Structure 1
Amino acid sequence: MVLIDSGSGLANATIQQRLVPVRLFYDFLMEDGQRDSNPVGRGRYTPGRRHRGGHERGLVPRLTKLPWIPTEQQWLDILAVAAAEPVRNRVMLALAYDAALRREELCSLRTEDLDPAHRTLRVRAETTKNRLERVVPYSAPTGVLLSGYLAHRATISRARGPLFLSESRRDHAQPLSLWTWSKVVRRIALAADVPRFSTHTTRHLCLTDLARMGWELHAIATFAGHRHTDSTLTYIHLSGRDLADKLSRGMEQIHGWRVQMLARLGEPATGTVAL
């Protein structure tokens, strides 16, 4: 139990989820004729009716946080720890970043989804969040890691099927579960002293890096498997350091222009008539 004045509480997303059954209960009471209104507002907006009651606020404001991404040093710390991991874990981490894969997409990959000749992999629709299939590339270094893992996988099972297999005694040669992969990433994060690093961080980082390289929004949305660019915008953000660098470069240009204009004030005027 968490007291209101304890200084800690539930996350905004958790509160939103817990309000859903309460809201649905009051919907039921309204349909049953026991209530005339639902006190748990949904928070919706009808265009053109803002000044006529078209804007309704939810009971709890919905907060949207920017995705967290590691600093360059934190990323290097993660890689330093991951370098000592088995080849399966290393190739999974590499693919998770290279292809901006969600945890479910990564763990659901099958051997037939790979196209090593073109260094691409198919993310099947049934494994995606929005049931939208896509084909994404991966880098040459990841291809080398993947080749090494496939050779290692053959010593566990030569059967086609799930790409990543468990090597534990209890589940030997069985598909690697989502929870096992989460535990692996959590262990790496703690060993690197980067506790905020999670299975979704690599996706955040990849999409942000694509934005830094100048990719267009629609291209990033296609790569990420988003139906709408609104979803992509929540993943793409610039860190404070990026904004500071941009501001610094912009101010240098402005400063140089102002100095140049001031310098011209000292130049003798031409074509003027002395009075």
Structure 2
Amino acid sequence: MPQQTKHQADVQIESWITLQRDLGKAPNTVAAYERGVRHFAAFCRMASIDLLHARKGTIAAYLHHLCARPLGGGRTGDADRSLTPSPTMANASLRHRLTIIRLFYDHLVEEGLRDTNPVPRGRRGAIDGTRHQTARGLVPVHRTLPWVPSQDQWTTILKAARTEPIRNRLMLAFAYDCALRREELCALETSDLDPAQRLITIRAETTKTKTGRIVPYSSVTGELLAVYLRERRALSRARGPLFLSNSPRNWAMPISKWTWSKVIRAMGIRAGEPKLGTHTMRHLCLTDLARVGWDIHEIARFAGHRNVQTTLLYIHLSARDLSAKFAATAAELHEARLASIMEVQQ
């Protein structure tokens, strides 16, 4: 690839990343966009392809490269060294990479540097006149059910949590009570709490959808909070981030989302439930709200979802719940409709 074209590609990448930052996108989102587009740019350099004039075949070759999944690689700051993807590249990760590339080429089209976007968009459910039209994207969507612990599994997890410091137990309680995302939990500040009413304000700037909300928490969590606040005063009396580190290395510093991920992973391994993740408590809470009869719109508002379709992805009642509901409401009807199938011919 000519040196001049390569320079132009780098300039456009920098311009796009700066635009995302100036538009107020979350730092984690901007960082993910930059990793994704630079990884694709490194692939184009490796394949001697002009990034600014890539075609659909280039995108297909990149997807093939990602799906090959050779061993090694990782998330490094250098895009060329990270060309080898993770051996566990999931469907959602592939679609995320593709989305980043599509958004970058949308930018090039808007800037007049290209006439078309080489990444086709998938369209579902469009109605045109008298027929139903569907256009598939390059990567099919796999809707996998999230893992939601059973009552026995949750009891085991809570047993493992009892050996954790009070801060970690409180974080686990808040994550479940309020269906908090990892970023929302770690970004909580002392001013977000209303202990008298047992309410938490989730500030808009800390949420994925940039929509704030106020959610309640239980009396058990309130008791944990009272104990933790006494411990926190020994670390710092200043208002600000709620959850502070007590390690000598990061004394009184706000704990990061990565620290919380490590805590949850260790807790899951100790409980014999390696599937436990920082999002598990959110899944369980929203599923429990559905089990006790909350309306889907109420659950969406509690979760901070802008679209109830997103909420539906979180609500997966267990097979036992479905069996019990079927037996209570539909079994007799289904038996009547299928009764004749049991008749034996003479």
TM-score norm. by structure 1 comes to 0.83
- The residue identity in structure 2 corresponding to 1:204 is H
Contact 1:41 1:56 in 2 (8 A): no
| One-letter code aligned to 2:144 | K
Which structure has the bigger radius of gyration? 1
Residue of 162, 177, 180 corresponding to 1:98 = 177
* Residues 1:179 and 2:255 aligned together: no
Cα separation, 1, equivalents of 2:214 and 2:104 = 42
Using the alignment, how far apart are the partners of 2:142 and 2:334 within structure 1?
A: 38
Residues 165, 174 of structure 1: 8 Å contact kept: yes
- SS of the aligned residue for 1:59 comes to coil
Are residue 137 (structure 1) and residue 216 (structure 2) matched?
yes
Instruction: Give a deviation string over 1:38-83, Cα, whole Å, max 9, x none.
Output: 3x32112473327789532111211222222111111111000000
> How far apart in 2 are the matches of 1:11 and 1:29?
29
Identity of aligned residues (%): 53
Change (3 A) 1:70 1:54: same
User: Which residue pairs with 1:234 in the alignment?
Assistant: 313
How far is 1:240 from its partner?
1.5
Q: Secondary structure of 1:60's match?
A: coil
User: In the alignment, is the contact (CA less than 8 A) between 1:49 and 1:55 conserved in 2?
Assistant: no
2:203 corresponding residue in structure 1: 124
Of 231, 234, 240, the residue aligned with 1:161 is 240
Q: Which residue of 1 aligns with 2:25?
A: none
Measure the CA separation in 2 of the matches of 1:155 and 1:190: 30
Partner of 1:266: none
Instruction: Give me the whole-angstrom Cα distance separating, in 2, the residues matched to 1:139 and 1:113.
Output: 16
**Structure 2 unaligned runs (5+)?**
1-65, 72-86, 338-346
How many equivalent pairs are there? 255
Asked if 1:16 corresponds to 2:95, the answer is: yes
- 1:114 has 2:114 as partner: no
> Is 1:44–2:44 an aligned residue pair?
no
Partner of 2:27: none
* Superposition TM-score, scaled by structure 2 size: 0.67
By relative contact order (CA 8 Å, sep 6+), the higher-ranking structure is 1
d(CA) in 1 for partners of 2:318, 2:290: 12
Aligned with 1:197: secondary structure?
Answer: coil
Give the conservation status (yes or no) of the 8 Å contact 2:125–2:133.
Answer: yes
What amino acid does structure 2 have at the position aligned with 1:148? Answer: V
